[in-house]
Structure formats: C-alpha cells, structure tokens
Amino acid sequence: MDILNSLFRWIHVAAGILWIGHLYWFNFVNASFAPTMDADTKKKVVPEMMPRALYMFRWGAIYTWVSGVLLLFLVYYHGGLMYSAESVQEWTMTNSLITFALILAGAYVYDILAKTPLTKNLTVTGIVGLVIIGAVTYLLINVGGFDYRAYNIHIGSLFGTIMILNVWMRIWPSQKKIITAVKEGTPPDASLVALAGLRSKHNTYLSVPLLWTMINAHTAVPAADSWMYLIGVVVIGWGLVTLMYKKAAQVKGF
C-alpha cells in the first residue's frame, strides 16, 4: 500500500503539472497571442501547434484524474481518513461508491448549469458557484460528518472531475472542429470557439482553489474548522485568476 501510495502521488503530481501547465499556457499566453496572427499564419501554425499542445493537455488531464481517484480510494476510503479520530462512525465500500457517484453527478449538474444564460456573466456565474460550493461543503461536514481533510479533498475532487469532463466532452471536441476549419481556411463556428473558451476559462478559475484543496488536505488548521474558511480560499483563488487574466492581456511581444 505504501508503494502504491507513493507511485500514485508521483504520477498525480507529474501529470497535474503537465495538465495545468498547458491550461495556463492556453489561457494566459495563447489567448492573447492567437489574435495577433493573420489568416495565412494561423493556417500554418494552428494545425501544427495546437494538436500537439492539446494532446499533452488532455492526456495529462486523464492521468491526473485517474491517479487522483486511485488516491482517493486508497488514502481516504481504504485508509480511514473520512471521519475524525473521535468519531464512532464506520466507513464502508457502499459509502465510497455513493460518494464517488455523487462527485460524478455534481460534475454533470455543473455541465447543465454551464449551458444556461447565467454563464454569460462571469460575476453571476461566480456567485452561483460560491453558493453551490458553500452548500455542498456544509452538507459534507454537517450531514456526511466528513473530517477537515476529507471535505477539503472532496471539494477538490469535484472541481477536478468538472475540469476533466470539460476537457474531454467540451474543449477537445470543439477544438478538433476549430483546428480543422482553420486548416481549411474557413472561419470556425463562433459557437464552438465560445464554448471552448468558456469551459477553458472555467477550468482556469477552478484550478487555483483545486490546488489549495490538494495541499491543504495534508494539514490540520484549527481555525479552518468551518466551511466558510474554504469558501474564503475559493474567493481569493478566483481573485488571483482574474488578476492573472488582466496581467496577461497587458503583456506585449517585441
């Protein structure tokens, strides 16, 4: 178990760097660079560069998510870290399967909400997202009885599952059609460009608090024994991403 624990963590971190690194490159570098290319340059560059970048991006996402799920079952469900040491509750395999199913269900609920008009306004999207995250965290603590580390990592697992579904179900299918259109010299479908861009932006906003839940799940902070603490971290993380978008738009080439 110790060997598997170390192996899965190694894969998880390495693959996560590959995935999130490309995510940030797409949003903070390429998003500002791509509009500077003329049509002929795009026709030459995009079909060669983007498939390579998207290959590393989507497969990095797969390895990150799969190794994360394995760690969730190994460390938390099998390792007995769901409840506090004082708790008399017992964690069963049924609990594990139900909890994991709820994570998947939560990701699909996000996908449904992301198709509604509320996503046209990023502020409204953020407010609705915070309310949902707060409600889920509150339920994990007060209904599920989850310990500090357990509810942190499960919010992170929800974020990560939303992100990988965005990658494979929304971003990659859209990008394949966009790249093909650019290669053929025809204007890409504007709705596909908007969809891929929006879901990529959502993933960028989710990624920063996700990283917090990953590292903070290994600590025990007495002051953090409140669902509001995690909500505060999410707000700070989203604020940092907003600042990065603004800064990225200001950086110019020579």
Split the chain (254 residues) into runs of 10 and give each run's mean pLDDT.
90 97 97 93 95 97 97 92 83 92 95 90 92 92 89 95 98 97 94 96 96 79 69 93 96 91
Whole-prediction pTM: 0.93
Q: What residues contact 83, with CB distance under 8 A and at least 6 apart? A: 89, 91, 145, 146, 147, 150
- Report pLDDT for 25: 97
- Rounded to an integer, what distance in angstroms lies between the CA atom of residue 103 and that of residue 154? 8
The pLDDT assigned to 225 comes to 62
Contact 219, 129 (CB under 8 A): no
At residue 209, the pLDDT reads 94
**Cα 152 to Cα 237: distance, rounded to the nearest angstrom:** 15
Determine the pLDDT at residue 84.
79
Q: By the 8 A CB rule, do 159 and 17 touch?
A: no
